[in-house]
């Protein structure tokens, strides 16, 4: 990494904890020395690295930490043939990012941001969060011996709050939405020396999402899939997926066509899906969705997500709220994987793309499972009830729905 560059006006800045361009308020992104990377990065150098996201350290904006081998990432990519048959898709593979340390993909982005925070000498790691990021920030801060401060809406699921406070973080439940938390985080980032991972360290934080694309390509034998389906909240992860596949192609690490990217949002908070459908810029909405982890009404990278979907030949779908729980159950019953509401939306986007014929029987599709269903058990519809019996075999057989 050489510098930070504004995505809008292209002004460059030193690689410090700078959140936005001082000239036009545009977002900043890392600039890499591609000539040097082309000389030094190969399939062999990557394969020799640790089995974590830090195997891609040359393509990340910070040096790997001392515990790089214990970092997040390198999560399983597993087939889901029953789900594929159910939807009429050629092949479905699940990227199981709920196997990261705090059971969501947020461990990736926090690992990168925290490494930069340590480099800058920060003593407090902070964030505004819809829940999963809070878990990741609190856990990483505890492991690094930092204080942690979390701002989240007071309506966040209690399971996520518990899984944040257990690490000793200070948690503020804000009476408002995530967007209120985000505005408060921006204000506090200017008033304190706290390292807000998704404010003043956002340029570094977002880069962690690229490693999803890197891993998918490497795990598929240095090939890209035909399509990738992902949830959309701020839009950052969705756009960085595309960037990751592009960077591997630039370095000659993969050949062949680039994947089509399909995104999903809950219909109750779908500003990006609406902008895609109407071919307009993203307009803020007031979130009213059961997919709380995606409830960002004013997504920072929403317009870029729309452009990314179009450039890839994909689409962005608004998934009916009543379908989210059913999609969680479908994933569980056909693949043995329990995802939270975000994967419920992602499966919904896959179903919509398959129903429209955009994804079909010739396609190999990767579906991101970004967090575990144990964080949102209340979202799952009851599939059955406990059958109380006396402690003997005859009682079991008499009530059994399964042939003995």
User: Position of tokens 């510098």?
Assistant: 3
Give the pLDDT of the chain (404 residues) as one tens digit per residue.
Answer: 999 999 999 999 999 999 899 999 999 999 999 999 999 999 999 999 999 999 999 999 999 998 888 889 999 999 999 999 999 999 999 999 999 999 999 999 999 999 999 999 999 999 999 899 999 999 999 999 999 999 999 888 889 999 999 999 999 999 999 999 999 999 999 999 999 999 999 999 999 999 999 999 999 999 999 999 999 999 999 999 999 999 999 999 998 899 999 999 999 999 999 999 999 999 999 999 999 999 999 999 999 999 999 999 999 999 999 999 999 999 999 999 999 999 999 999 999 999 999 999 999 999 999 999 999 888 887 777 888 888 999 988 988 877 65
- The residues, ordered by sequence, that sit 6+ positions from 18 with a Cβ below 8 Å of its Cβ are 4, 28, 200, 203
Provide the pairing of β-strand 3-6 with 28-31. Answer: antiparallel
Residue positions counted in the chain: 404
Q: Is residue 366 within 8 Å of residue 228, measured between CB atoms?
A: yes
| Confidence at residue 404, expressed as pLDDT on a 0 to 100 scale | 58
State pTM to two decimals: 0.94
Phi, psi of 32 (to 5 degrees): -110, 155
- Of 125, 127, 115, the C-alpha closest to 71 is 115
| Confidence at residue 144, expressed as pLDDT on a 0 to 100 scale | 94
Residue spans of the domains in the chain: they are: 1-31, 77-103+207-379
Q: How far apart are CA 126 and CA 146, in angstroms?
A: 10
Angle (CA) 272 88 218, round 5°:
70
| Confidence at residue 386, expressed as pLDDT on a 0 to 100 scale | 85
Q: How far apart are CA 213 and CA 217, in angstroms?
A: 6
User: Position of tokens 């509401």?
Assistant: 341
pLDDT digits (tens, 9 = 90+) for 303-351: 999 999 999 999 999 999 999 999 999 999 999 999 999 999 999 999 9
Helix (H) and strand (E) counts for the chain?
Answer: 15, 13
Q: Is residue 253 within 8 Å of residue 210, measured between CB atoms?
A: no
3-class secondary-structure state, position 25 = coil
What is the separation of C-alpha 369 from the centre of its chain, rounded to a whole number of angstroms? 9
Q: How far apart are CA 200 and CA 179, in angstroms?
A: 16
**DSSP secondary-structure letter at 284?**
-
What is the separation of C-alpha 39 from the centre of its chain, rounded to a whole number of angstroms? 31
| Confidence at residue 166, expressed as pLDDT on a 0 to 100 scale | 96
3-class secondary-structure state, position 366 = strand
User: DSSP states of 296-329 as a string?
Assistant: -SS-TTHHHHHHHHHHHT-EEEEEPHHHHHHHHH
User: Position of tokens 């006396």?
Assistant: 390
| Confidence at residue 89, expressed as pLDDT on a 0 to 100 scale | 98
pLDDT digits (tens, 9 = 90+) for 147-173: 999 999 988 888 999 999 999 999 999
| Confidence at residue 76, expressed as pLDDT on a 0 to 100 scale | 98
3-class secondary-structure state, position 48 = coil
**DSSP secondary-structure letter at 387?**
-
- Of 72, 128, 80, the C-alpha closest to 103 is 72
Q: What is the fold, at CATH topology level, of the domain defined by 77-103+207-379?
A: Rossmann fold (3.40.50)
Residue 86: both structure tokens together = 């159910």
Q: How far apart are the first and last CA of the chain?
A: 63
């Amino acid at each position: 990494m050489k510098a930070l560059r504004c995505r809008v006006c292209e002004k460059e800045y030193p690689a410090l904890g700078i959140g936005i361009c001082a000239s036009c308020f545009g977002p900043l992104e890392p600039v890499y020395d591609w000539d040097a990377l082309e000389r030094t990065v190969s399939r062999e150098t990557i394969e020799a690295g640790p089995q974590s996201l830090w195997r891609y350290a040359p393509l990340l904006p910070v040096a790997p930490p001392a515990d790089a081998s214990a970092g997040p990432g390198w999560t399983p990519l597993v087939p889901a043939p029953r789900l594929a048959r159910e939807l009429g898709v050629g092949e479905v593979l699940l990227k199981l990012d709920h196997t990261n340390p705090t059971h969501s993909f947020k461990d990736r982005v926090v690992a990168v941001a925290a490494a930069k925070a340590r480099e800058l000498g920060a003593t407090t790691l902070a964030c505004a969060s819809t829940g999963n990021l809070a878990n990741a920030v609190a856990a990483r801060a505890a492991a690094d011996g930092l204080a942690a401060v979390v701002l989240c809406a007071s309506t966040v699921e209690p399971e996520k709050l518990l899984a944040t406070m257990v690490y000793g973080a200070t948690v503020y439940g804000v009476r408002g939405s995530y967007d209120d938390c985000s505005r408060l985080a921006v204000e506090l980032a200017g008033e304190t020396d706290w390292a807000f991972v998704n404010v003043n360290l956002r340029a570094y934080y977002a880069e962690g999402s690229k490693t999803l694309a890197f891993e998918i390509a490497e795990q598929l034998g240095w090939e890209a899939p035909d399509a990738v389906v992902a949830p959309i909240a701020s839009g950052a992860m969705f756009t960085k997926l595309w960037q990751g596949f592009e960077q591997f192609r630039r370095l000659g690490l993969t050949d062949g066509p680039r994947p089509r990217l399909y995104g999903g949002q809950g219909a109750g908070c779908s500003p990006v899906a609406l902008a895609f459908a109407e071919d307009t810029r993203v307009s803020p909405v007031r979130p009213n969705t059961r997919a709380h982890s995606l409830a960002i009404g004013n997504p920072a990278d929403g317009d870029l997500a729309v452009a990314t979907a179009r450039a890839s030949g994909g689409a962005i779908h608004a998934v009916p709220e009543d379908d989210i729980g059913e999609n969680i159950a479908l994933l569980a019953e056909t693949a043995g994987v329990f995802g939270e509401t975000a994967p419920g939306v992602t499966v919904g986007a896959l179903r919509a793309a398959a129903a429209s014929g955009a994804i079909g029987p010739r396609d190999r599709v990767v579906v991101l499972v970004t967090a575990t269903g144990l964080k949102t058990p209340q979202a799952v519809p009851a599939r059955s009830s406990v059958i109380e019996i006396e402690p003997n075999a005859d009682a079991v057989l008499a009530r059994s729905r399964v042939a003995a």
